[in-house]
């Protein structure tokens, strides 16, 4: 009989402040530590020598020592390819991946050049090799790695605005798509990873951060292309809320794993007084997103974002044998708390069903026999 392993994965990790960071994992520690392979997405750069390099709202540098909290709960792999990785310049990229390696966590998606940035993280457990390719599919371009510049591994996504009504001022429809040559390069990298491992996983920072459950038009084709090239599992994040889940050719796609531990004062009024941030907070306030004033100062997202999950995939050397998610809710202190069928899990499942249906995904859900997690197919 072949050995079966458990892979657990969470979404965005922003380990900024307030400390000690370890306490935010206390309620999920036992579950996370029980995984054979544990994966998360480190959203912000961790460095003590920041060189601000963002053209948008800069993520402040996080303390590199805060990454120790990930090692403390057993993270094996950390994806870093995202829209904020280059916010603190090349030092932020290099210091983040180096600190992860120092802690025994394999980074993927960022590095001193494009060769390092696109190198997958590969771990082996009980004779089964598991590899993760981390890719930024959101921008900005200045954060992309090149042959001589630090940054993240990326795929070029284009946006087209089309007016279906030939009338001045008519509202456009928005289409997003991936250039064919960019998709070919991605698939070549996925195929190369699959040739080296038993289980290939692709982690995408993708989509929009809005409240809608809808997916941008490029998201599903991007995930399908990864699976067509050999990926067994696709993980998504960036939205700061859960998105829908689906199955393609028998493989699970988690379109958005949402927030997990995400603590920062970066968007709290009175802490970041740069002109760019003050202008951004006015926009957030007009959109009903707090404007710098939140129920928890260091958790600047809305109530829907409190619904979260831990992706759970059982695998053997041939592929996924079972998959689904463990529901969790983020409490008033920004601590993710595990839920089950009898204790708050239904609320999270209902939200995921709404997000899945709202994206037009035809997915069915069922509780596991013991009610501790949810399968989907």
- Give the DSSP letter string of 291-344: TT--SSTT--S-GGGGEEEEEEEEEETTEEEEEEEEEEEE-TTS-EEE-BTTBB
Does residue 141 carry a pLDDT above 80? yes
Does residue 324 carry a pLDDT above 90? yes
Stated pTM of the model? 0.97
Other beta carbons within 10 angstroms of residue 31's beta carbon come to 19
pLDDT for residue 286: 87
State mean pLDDT over 76-96.
97
Q: How many residues does the chain have?
A: 377
- Distance between CA 128 and CA 213 in Å, rounded? 35
**Phi/psi of residue 277, nearest 5 degrees:** -70, -40
Work out the pLDDT band at 330, boundaries 50, 70, 90. Answer: very high
Does residue 151 carry a pLDDT above 80? yes
pLDDT for residue 274: 82
- Distance between CA 165 and CA 195 in Å, rounded? 48
State mean pLDDT over 322-346.
98
pLDDT for residue 209: 67
Work out the pLDDT band at 166, boundaries 50, 70, 90. Answer: confident
Residues 34-64 pLDDT 10s: 999 999 999 999 999 988 877 667 788 999 9
Residues 361-376 pLDDT 10s: 999 999 999 999 999 9
Could you tell me the fold of the domain covering 5-264+300-376?
Purple Acid Phosphatase; chain A, domain 2 (3.60.21)
State mean pLDDT over 150-155.
98
Distances 315 to 73, 150, 151, 320 between C-alpha atoms, Å: 21, 34, 32, 4
In the chain, domain spans: 5-264+300-376
- Distance between CA 258 and CA 35 in Å, rounded? 19
Distances 166 to 42, 170, 174, 254 between C-alpha atoms, Å: 45, 7, 16, 38
Strand partners, 270: none
Mapped onto helix, strand or coil, the DSSP state of residue 115 is helix
Work out the pLDDT band at 273, boundaries 50, 70, 90. Answer: confident
pLDDT for residue 188: 98
Percent of the chain with pLDDT over 70: 99
Does residue 1 carry a pLDDT above 60? no
Other beta carbons within 10 angstroms of residue 182's beta carbon come to 17
pLDDT for residue 55: 61
State mean pLDDT over 66-94.
97
pLDDT for residue 238: 96
Does residue 192 carry a pLDDT above 80? yes
Work out the pLDDT band at 251, boundaries 50, 70, 90. Answer: very high
- Distance between CA 116 and CA 108 in Å, rounded? 8
Other beta carbons within 10 angstroms of residue 296's beta carbon come to 14
State mean pLDDT over 269-294.
86
Q: Which of 23-27, 39-43, 54-58, 77-81 has the lowest mean pLDDT?
A: 54-58
Distances 32 to 12, 75, 355 between C-alpha atoms, Å: 15, 8, 25
Residues 198-238 pLDDT 10s: 999 999 999 986 778 999 999 999 999 999 999 999 999 99
């Amino acid at each position: 009989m072949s050995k079966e392993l458990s892979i657990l994965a969470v979404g965005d990790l922003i380990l900024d402040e307030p400390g000690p960071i370890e306490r935010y994992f206390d309620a999920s520690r036992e579950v996370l530590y029980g995984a054979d392979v544990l994966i998360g997405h480190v959203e912000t750069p961790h460095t003590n020598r920041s060189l601000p390099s963002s053209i948008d709202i800069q993520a402040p540098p996080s303390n590199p020592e805060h990454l120790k909290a990930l090692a403390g709960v057993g993270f094996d792999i950390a994806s870093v390819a995202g829209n904020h990785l280059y916010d603190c310049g090349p030092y932020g990229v290099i210091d983040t991946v180096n600190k992860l390696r120092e802690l025994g966590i394999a980074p993927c998606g960022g590095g001193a050049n494009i060769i390092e940035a696109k190198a997958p993280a590969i771990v082996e457990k009980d004779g089964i090799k598991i590899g993760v390719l981390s890719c930024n599919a959101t921008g900005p371009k200045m954060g992309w790695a090149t042959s001589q510049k630090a940054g993240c591994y990326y795929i070029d996504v284009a946006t087209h605005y089309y007016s279906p009504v030939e009338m001045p001022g008519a509202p456009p429809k928005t289409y997003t798509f991936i250039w064919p040559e960019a998709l070919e390069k991605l698939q070549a990298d996925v195929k190369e990873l699959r040739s080296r491992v038993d289980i290939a996983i692709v982690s995408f920072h993708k989509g929009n951060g809005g409240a809608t459950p809808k997916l941008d038009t490029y998201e599903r084709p991007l995930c399908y292309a990864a699976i067509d090239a050999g990926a067994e599992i696709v993980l998504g994040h960036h939205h700061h809320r859960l998105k829908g889940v689906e199955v393609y050719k028998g493989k699970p796609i988690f379109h958005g794993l949402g927030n997990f531990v995400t603590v920062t004062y970066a968007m709290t009024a009175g802490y970041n007084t740069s002109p760019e941030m003050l202008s951004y907070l006015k926009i957030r306030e007009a959109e009903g997103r707090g404007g710098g004033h939140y129920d928890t100062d260091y958790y600047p997202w809305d109530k829907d974002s409190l619904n979260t999950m831990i992706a759970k995939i059982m695998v053997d050397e041939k592929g996924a044998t079972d998959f689904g998610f463990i529901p969790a809710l983020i409490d008033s202190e920004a601590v993710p708390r595990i839920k089950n069928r009898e204790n708050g899990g239904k609320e999270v499942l209902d939200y995921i069903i709404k997000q899945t249906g709202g994206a037009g995904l035809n997915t069915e859900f069922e509780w596991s026999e013991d009610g501790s997690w949810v399968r989907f197919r």
